[in-house]
Amino acid sequence: MIQPHAAPSSLTRRSFIALLPPTAALLLAACSGAGGATSTGAGGQLIAKPAENVWPDIFWKSSPEVQEAYRYALANPQVLQYMPCFCGCVNQGHRSNKDCYIQEMRPDGSVVVEPMSFG
């Protein structure tokens, strides 16, 4: 008798390989420069609500590639947390490529985005 198996809860090798090309593009976009964005939230924070397609003004002024990088980052932080960043942002306290895009994920679904990757 064949036993049904549960869906894997972790990233499989096939999934990881499939995510490499978009993640590579994301890494390149993150290392494109340091941002000097205007704030849209309290305390100078850039707030996004991806589920509602609400983004800070600088997002809409960015290239389609940068917009896609932010969309990918906010949708896949569990992938980016394992990817190191090589552009020197570790000096700013970043631990992974996730930190190049996300400062804080809030319980209400909003996200404080990191402006450095807007370039």
| Dist CA 119 CA 35 (whole Å) | 5
| Dist CA 49 CA 110 (whole Å) | 5
For residue 31, pLDDT beyond 50: no
Mean pLDDT (whole number) for 36-53: 75
Whose tokens are 């896609």? That residue is 68
What is the per-residue pLDDT for 103? 93
Q: Are 72 and 57 in contact (CB under 8 A)?
A: no
- pTM recorded for the entire structure: 0.65
For residue 8, pLDDT beyond 50: no
- What are the residue ranges of helices labelled H in 5-119? 13-30, 57-61, 64-75, 77-80
Tokens of 66: 């940068």
Burial of 26 (0-12, 13-18, 19+ CB in 10 A): buried
What is the per-residue pLDDT for 11? 63
How far from chain centre, in Å, is Cα 90? 16
Tokens of 57: 């003004």
What is the per-residue pLDDT for 37? 33
